[in-house]
């Protein structure tokens, strides 16, 4: 007996985000959530409280709370560098070619339009 092969119907999740014009927002939120998680994990490994982290970073506890808030995407690069240094890490930021972005612009061009009836 052979197994049926499943072929997905419809667009990908990325296509959905492109069509709703929210892909960049979702990407940004996902990156911040990962950074917040990494900082929290490193703080836990080093047994650092928010107050001690703030003291080591020479900043306020509120600033550390912003850093740990996955929904706050407004954290600046300087804060990230200070946090990384305190946690014995190195921050690496890079811009890379984004192949899916090329598809995104062409996906918008190929978007089907409804026929107008007279």
**CATH code, domain with 63:** 1.10.260.40
Which of 93-103 are b and which e, b meaning 16 or more Cβ less than 10 Å from the residue's Cβ?
eeeeeeeeeee
**Residue 101 predicted with pLDDT over 70:** no
Residue in 111, 101, 109 with CA at minimum distance from that of residue 23 = 101
pLDDT number for residue 4: 67
Please write the tens of the pLDDT for every residue from 67-79: 999 999 889 999 9
Q: Which residue has the higher pLDDT, 55 or 4?
A: 55
pLDDT number for residue 52: 98
Question: Number of folded domains in the chain?
Answer: 1
Which of 18-37 are b and which e, b meaning 16 or more Cβ less than 10 Å from the residue's Cβ?
beeeebeeeeeeeebeebbe
Q: Looking at the domain assignment, is residue 98 inside a domain?
A: no
Domain holding 87, by residue range, is 13-91
Q: What are phi and psi of 50, to 5 degrees?
A: -60, -40
Q: Looking at the domain assignment, is residue 17 inside a domain?
A: yes
Q: How many Å apart are CA 83 and CA 53, to the nearest integer?
A: 8
């Amino acid at each position: 007996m052979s197994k049926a092969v499943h072929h997905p119907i419809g667009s990908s999740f990325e296509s959905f985000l492109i069509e709703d014009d929210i892909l960049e927002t979702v990407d940004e939120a996902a990156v911040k959530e990962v950074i917040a998680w990494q900082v929290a994990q490193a703080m836990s490994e080093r047994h650092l409280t928010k107050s001690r982290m703030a003291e080591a970073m020479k900043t306020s506890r509120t600033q550390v709370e912003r850093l740990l808030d996955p929904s706050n995407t407004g954290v600046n690069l300087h804060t990230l560098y200070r946090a990384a240094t305190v946690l014995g890490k190195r921050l690496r930021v890079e811009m890379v070619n984004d192949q899916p972005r090329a598809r995104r612009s062409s996906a918008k061009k190929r978007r089907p339009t409804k026929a107008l009836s007279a």
